Amino acid sequence: MNKILLLFTAFCFAVSSAVAQGQVNQTTSDLIPQDQYVPGTMPAPPAGKQRGVGDPFPSTIGTKTVIGKTTYDLQTNGALQNRIMVTGGNEVHAAWTMSQETGVTSTSSFADRGTGYAYHNGTAWGAAPTARIEGATRTGFGGMAVNGSGNVVYMAHSGAYDIMLSEKASGTWNTVTTALNSSPIQAIWPDVATSGNWMYVICGSADSNSRTNGIRNGYYFSRSNDNGATWIDNVIPMPLIDSAGHYRGGGNAYSISARDSIVAIVFGDVATDLTLLQSNDYGATWTKKVIWDWPLEYYNFGSMSMTDTNSDNIPDTLYTIDGAFDVAIDKDGESHIAFSTLRVFKDGTSTGYSYFMFTSGMRYYNSIADSVAEVDNIFSLHYALCNGDSVMSAIPNYTTATGVGDANYNTIGLLTMPQVSVNETNDDIYLTYTAIADGDQTEIDIAHPYWFGVSGIDGQPYREVMVLPSNNKGASFGYPVNVSRTGHYEEAFVSVPERVSGTDLHLLYQGDIEPGTILQNEDTYDSDFENYIIHQQVTISEIFAESLSIGAPCNAFELPLSISDVVNSFNGTVNIYPNPAVDFVTVELDLDKTAKQVSYELFDLTGRLISTVTHSNISTDNVQISVQDLSAGNYILKVNADNALSTHKVSVK
């Protein structure tokens, strides 16, 4: 496998394009955690679109349900907190960072941002949330646990850098402001774990001048033995984590798990060590282990410093974690960690860096073997086979014009954002993460009948949700099983319960009709298909059965879950001429039955609506649309007859 990676990396160096097949130049100086990201201006969203709305695009494995929506679409800056739990055998609790603000852009205030919560009582899901659980307080970026009273709790931060603790008791949420803050720490991005009445919180600092043990944006630790009523350690610098391996910290650059007296916390980001701290006495004392070593000590990835490990003034290409990882403690007290890696280098001529997408791999560590193994990588044959050949398709447009990776969600791997689940009744381990789908890319509204977004960039890759199972405590794994299986649909920010019992695996993720986010990638707001929150339930035995096949990561298809979920079928013909056009384009329409309303909408490739023509009560029509003032290039014409949509490419000379 090393030889294949080296050969492919050499190929990446040979490509001269700034965004090459596998190599991406990142022009930002650092990966900065975001509470609200403010890039540049974005194109105005298309007007007058009509959609069919309902359940998410389906899967042939398990069941899917939309349990909410959000227009605030950035769920984490790196590692994802626990967001879904199963209690009482079959009750499901799911939460996410939510806003219901409409018409949003990257600079919107999202004044109603907070925690959206959905509950399944063992029989059915309740109504989708329309307001945050925290009441009047704007919050975000939280994590879920169960306290010693058996109540679900959720920890998030406020805009004032307060750490807010919400508890659901007797069916009602109550939120309090904890004592976990003191100026100038600006505590933010909390992650929480519990064991009985013990509660542990790890967070970062929004203040770049706040340093813990020499680390910029350092790590802070808190613990309570009375469910958060009082605190033994109140936002203290995290012991043993120092600047030798971590120049900087940051948002969601940590993951935490607790069981009985054991607490395990993992820390790291791009161009830092991945470090495990473990306590066996409820967080009183700690031991430290470097799981993945970044060879350059106290390395500022945002500086002009070259990735040179042997001082020969030649940049080295090095494997780094991509900032996404997870830790879980099993019933025997063993720690299991999943993290994603890929190769990067800096030539020392700028603050930017380059990374090689097709070296993306999923790594796994457990304390049983005390070693790291690569358990999946995007260059494997089982991914390349998915579009009918044996070659992983190139990704021509992985970045936007502003240089921000358009589907990397602040983590740069093509396999990323892993979650670890441990089975309470046997030796099963499940690694869940997202991976790009071979050959499944945006195609500017034309090729796919259920693609309703308008993308300014052709060729953005879609992601699928993968589950990689092991039945022997991680000693070996099968093939990763694609459970989402949705062609031309994006799934990201997947969360699973840390502890699994029973026959099913529950998954929670965000679905979108277009890759990327409004917050970081200037994605286009879409009032209908934007950011479903999806729950999926899959039988574990079926996951294991499918993981035996090399085709397990494939099997995506493009049919709606039910007829009512998508726009009506277009019954008729559309003839467009001349095409290419110079002055006018003529559209001839012949419908099988009379439509009450027909609209003809012409868009450019950024999603800007150029012209609209609307006619009523027709079965045949002839429309001329002026293109004489348009620049040469391609445009999109949408013909909508009573919510039945037909989309066509129009070229202008």
Q: Do the domain assignments include residue 322?
A: yes
User: Omega into 580 within 30° of 0, i.e. cis?
Assistant: yes
Q: Do the domain assignments include residue 541?
A: yes
Q: Among 564, 591, 620, which residue terminates a domain?
A: 564
Strand residue runs (E) in 484-604:
490-495, 499-500, 504-512, 532-539, 572-577, 584-603
Is residue 71 predicted with pLDDT exceeding 60?
Answer: yes
Tally of structural domains, the chain:
2
Nearest to 321 by CA among 267, 276, 371: 267
pLDDT of residue 341: 97
Which DSSP symbol is given to 563? G
Rounded Cα distance between 7 and 23, Å, is: 13
Across the range 602-629, mean pLDDT stands at: 87
Q: Do the domain assignments include residue 79?
A: yes
CA distances from 297 to 78, 244, 245, 276, 646 (A): 22, 5, 5, 17, 57
Is residue 376 predicted with pLDDT exceeding 60?
Answer: yes
The CATH number for 641's domain is 2.60.40.1930
Same domain, 478 and 578: no
Look up the pTM and report it: 0.81
Same domain, 469 and 328: yes
Of the given ranges (194-203, 290-299, 382-391, 459-468), which has the lowest mean pLDDT? Answer: 382-391
CB 276 within 8 A of CB 335: yes
Query: Mean pLDDT in the chain?
Result: 83
Q: What residues have CB less than 8 Å from 629, skipping those under 6 apart? A: none
Same domain, 423 and 460: yes
Q: Do the domain assignments include residue 50?
A: no
Question: Which has more confidence, 74 or 487?
Answer: 74
Nearest to 168 by CA among 234, 94, 72, 232: 94
3-class secondary structure, 362: strand
The CATH number for 275's domain is 2.120.10.10
Same domain, 540 and 476: yes
Same domain, 429 and 548: yes
Same domain, 551 and 609: no
Rounded Cα distance between 555 and 58, Å, is: 12
pLDDT of residue 45: 31
Range of the domain at 419: 2-43+56-564
Q: Are strands 84-87 and 63-69 parallel, antiparallel or unpaired?
A: unpaired
Across the range 166-176, mean pLDDT stands at: 96
Is residue 562 predicted with pLDDT exceeding 50?
Answer: no
Q: How far is Cα of residue 28 from the mean position of the Cα atoms in its chain?
A: 20
Same domain, 293 and 359: yes
pLDDT tens per residue across span 414-462: 999 999 999 999 999 999 999 998 878 776 544 444 444 444 556 778 8
3-class secondary structure, 70: coil
Q: Do the domain assignments include residue 333?
A: yes
Same domain, 207 and 340: yes
Bridge partners for 398 per DSSP:
none
Same domain, 237 and 346: yes
Across the range 352-378, mean pLDDT stands at: 93
Chain position carrying tokens 């999806």: 534
Neighbours of 528 (CB within 10 A): 15
Same domain, 619 and 555: no
CB 467 within 8 A of CB 543: yes
Same domain, 218 and 256: yes
Q: What residues have CB less than 8 Å from 311, skipping those under 6 apart? A: none
- Tally of CA atoms within 13 A in the half-sphere of 102 that contains its CB: 4
Q: How confident is the model at residue 327 (pLDDT cuts 50, 70, 90)?
A: very high
Of the given ranges (301-305, 361-365, 633-637), which has the lowest mean pLDDT? Answer: 633-637
Q: How far is Cα of residue 143 from the mean position of the Cα atoms in its chain?
A: 15
H or E element at residue 97:
strand 91-98
Q: Are strands 499-500 and 415-423 parallel, antiparallel or unpaired?
A: parallel
Chain position carrying tokens 């934007």: 530
Nearest to 321 by CA among 397, 395, 266, 383: 266
- What's the chain's length in residues? 653
Q: Are strands 572-577 and 584-603 parallel, antiparallel or unpaired?
A: antiparallel
Q: Do the domain assignments include residue 80?
A: yes
H or E element at residue 85:
strand 84-87
Tokens standing for residue 10: 């050499």
Q: Among 530, 564, 598, which residue terminates a domain?
A: 564
pLDDT tens per residue across span 185-216: 888 999 999 999 999 999 998 877 777 888 88
Q: Among 535, 564, 593, which residue terminates a domain?
A: 564
pLDDT of residue 651: 84
Rounded Cα distance between 532 and 595, Å, is: 31
Q: Do the domain assignments include residue 49?
A: no
Is residue 86 predicted with pLDDT exceeding 60?
Answer: yes
H or E element at residue 465:
strand 461-470
Is residue 616 predicted with pLDDT exceeding 50?
Answer: yes
CA distances from 387 to 203, 440, 498 (A): 42, 8, 33
pLDDT tens per residue across span 113-149: 999 999 999 999 999 999 999 999 999 999 999 999 9
Question: Which has more confidence, 53 or 160?
Answer: 160
Tokens standing for residue 100: 């219901």
pLDDT of residue 444: 52
Rounded Cα distance between 125 and 91, Å, is: 10
Is residue 273 predicted with pLDDT exceeding 70?
Answer: yes
Q: Do the domain assignments include residue 48?
A: no
Same domain, 433 and 411: yes
CB 567 within 8 A of CB 51: yes
Q: Which amino acid is located at 365 in the chain? A: Y
% residues pLDDT > 70 (the chain): 82
Across the range 342-362, mean pLDDT stands at: 90
CB 435 within 8 A of CB 499: no
Which of 48-52, 515-519, 539-543: highest mean pLDDT?
A: 539-543
